[in-house]
Amino acid sequence: MNNAFPIPVRAPRRALPKSVTLAHGGGGSAMRDLIDEVFIDTFKSTTGAPEDQARFDLAALMAQGDRLAFTTDGFVVDPLFFPGGDIGKLAVCGTINDLAVGAARPVALSCAVIIEEGLPLATLRSVARSMAETAHAAGVPIVTGDTKVVARGACDKLFITTTGIGVVRTGIEVGIGRARPGDVILVNGQLGDHGAAILNARGDLALETAIESDCAALHGLIDALVAAAPGVRTMRDATRGGVAAVLNELAAASGVGVRIRELDTPIRSDVLGFCEILGLDPLYLANEGKIVAVVPPDQAAAALQALRDHPLGRGAAAIGRVTDTRPGRVVMETRLGGDRIVDMLVGDQLPRIC
């Protein structure tokens, strides 16, 4: 970033009120105070005068690779805070992961927020603090952003859009259409935790089960995976639609069949119990710290070990293989030895969580 700008002299800030008002989106001093105190002071990713864009040294980027990856995502989760995370952590991790599964090293993020009038300032500060801490821990700074305030009822408390750029590793080619028969399908741990945690956190069901989201930034895990299996064909984070959606996209795009084994698919007992009570299938539940990786058979053992050696992959498992039978179909071998089709859902099997 180019920070060769003088720091402007500003008048002392006025104390912010306890909640966000429409004045905080009006472009005047109230908005400037909100942005400075809640976001710029918290993110601390830049110095110098605020500009309308972040700037990067192209030579430094090109030293890491010859292609840029670019992604954006919106986050509207309810509730804003849940066991294992919050909307701020979710936004940072989700965008980092979208870059990382494309074999890109994340470089920087932007953050745009739409705030409902009346949102407590304490809530907004907590979310900003969580974003800053998550980005700092991941080594991926938040370098630019935008703030809008809308009238009560025009949005649900707080919406966040994060955009990220990264540099794609030289010599690594991954894509949803690159799977080949014989390839091994890996996941880095227990599935369905995030979807179950969000639904349970809403409190409508009055269940005593404590389920935490798996929300995490996975670029370090993916670094280890790619080093161990440079021929990795496909990586996807299994978010909305869960592992089932990823596998169906893989089968359709690659023109192959997918066969997985229920006994080899890692799911926590409390998540299984939660799903049984509600009549849900954990394969369709969202994850925010899990990837599906497809690797050539001769690199599968090394890839699996690399995942298990990482703190975010200790529960990693090989759940199935790519086949040349029933192209476009995902089939699960059940615990009883039969087969069932794992199809793509038309909508959600539960109330929308993000």
| Same-domain status, 278 and 310 | yes
| Same-domain status, 323 and 279 | yes
| Mean pLDDT of the residues in the chain | 91
Query: What is the predicted pLDDT for the residue at 1?
Result: 40
To 10 degrees, what angle do helices 87-100 and 121-138 make? 30
The residue ranges of DSSP E strands in 155-313, in sequence order, are 158-168, 184-187, 234-237, 257-261, 291-295
Among candidate residues 168, 201, 226, the one where a domain is terminated: 168
| Same-domain status, 199 and 302 | yes
| Same-domain status, 332 and 192 | yes
- Assess whether pLDDT exceeds 90 at residue 353: no
pLDDT digits (tens, 9 = 90+) for 278-288: 889 999 999 99
Enclosing H/E stretch for 50:
none
Contact 162, 76 (CB under 8 A): no
Enclosing H/E stretch for 198:
helix 193-201
In a domain, 11, yes or no: no
In a domain, 331, yes or no: yes
Query: What is the predicted pLDDT for the residue at 278?
Result: 86
| Same-domain status, 216 and 274 | yes
| Same-domain status, 326 and 195 | yes
In DSSP terms, which residues pair with 167 in a beta bridge? 68, 105
Query: What is the predicted pLDDT for the residue at 79?
Result: 94
Query: What is the predicted pLDDT for the residue at 348?
Result: 67
- Greater confidence, 121 or 354? 121
Contact 235, 292 (CB under 8 A): yes
Q: Among residues 315, 186, 199, 171, which one has the least CA distance to residue 246?
A: 186
| Same-domain status, 72 and 131 | yes
Residue 202 pLDDT grade (very low, low, confident, very high; cuts 50, 70, 90): confident
In a domain, 7, yes or no: no
| Same-domain status, 141 and 44 | yes
- Greater confidence, 276 or 354? 276
Q: What is the CATH number of the domain that holds 28?
A: 3.30.1330.10
In a domain, 38, yes or no: yes
| Same-domain status, 144 and 212 | no
What CA–CA distances, in Å, run from 119 to 8, 125, 151, 231? 30, 11, 11, 48
- Greater confidence, 64 or 238? 238
- Greater confidence, 241 or 10? 241
- Assess whether pLDDT exceeds 80 at residue 3: no
Least confident residue range of 70-84, 107-121, 309-323, 333-347? 333-347
Give the mean pLDDT of 125-150.
Answer: 96
Among candidate residues 140, 168, 196, the one where a domain is terminated: 168
In a domain, 162, yes or no: yes
Token couple for 180: 């080949």
Residue 15 pLDDT grade (very low, low, confident, very high; cuts 50, 70, 90): confident
Q: What is the DSSP string of 142-165?
A: EEEEEEEEE-TTSSSSEEEEEEEE
Least confident residue range of 4-8, 55-59, 85-89? 4-8
Query: What is the predicted pLDDT for the residue at 264?
Result: 97
- Assess whether pLDDT exceeds 70 at residue 349: no
Cis amide prior to 79 (ω within 30 degrees): yes
Query: What is the predicted pLDDT for the residue at 194?
Result: 96
Q: What is the CATH number of the domain that holds 256?
A: 3.90.650.10
Among candidate residues 135, 168, 201, the one where a domain is terminated: 168
In a domain, 17, yes or no: no
Token couple for 64: 């890491």
Query: What is the predicted pLDDT for the residue at 302?
Result: 98
| Number of structural domains the chain divides into | 2
pLDDT digits (tens, 9 = 90+) for 217-260: 999 999 999 999 999 999 999 999 999 999 999 999 999 999 99
Give the mean pLDDT of 41-48.
Answer: 71
In DSSP terms, which residues pair with 292 in a beta bridge? 187, 236
Tell me how far apart the 2 most distant CA atoms of the chain are, in Å: 72
Cα dihedral sign, 123-124-125-128: positive
Query: What is the predicted pLDDT for the residue at 277?
Result: 86
| Same-domain status, 148 and 283 | no
| Same-domain status, 232 and 289 | yes
What DSSP state is assigned to residue 283?
Answer: G
Contact 232, 172 (CB under 8 A): yes
- Assess whether pLDDT exceeds 90 at residue 66: no
Range of the domain at 136: 22-168
In a domain, 107, yes or no: yes
In DSSP terms, which residues pair with 110 in a beta bridge? 144, 163
Contact 207, 83 (CB under 8 A): no
In a domain, 28, yes or no: yes
Burial 23-45 (b: 16+ CB within 10 A, else e): bbbeeeebbbbbbebbbeebbeb
- Assess whether pLDDT exceeds 50 at residue 4: no
- Assess whether pLDDT exceeds 50 at residue 216: yes
Please state the φ and ψ torsions of residue 55, each to the nearest 5 degrees: -125, 140
| Same-domain status, 124 and 256 | no
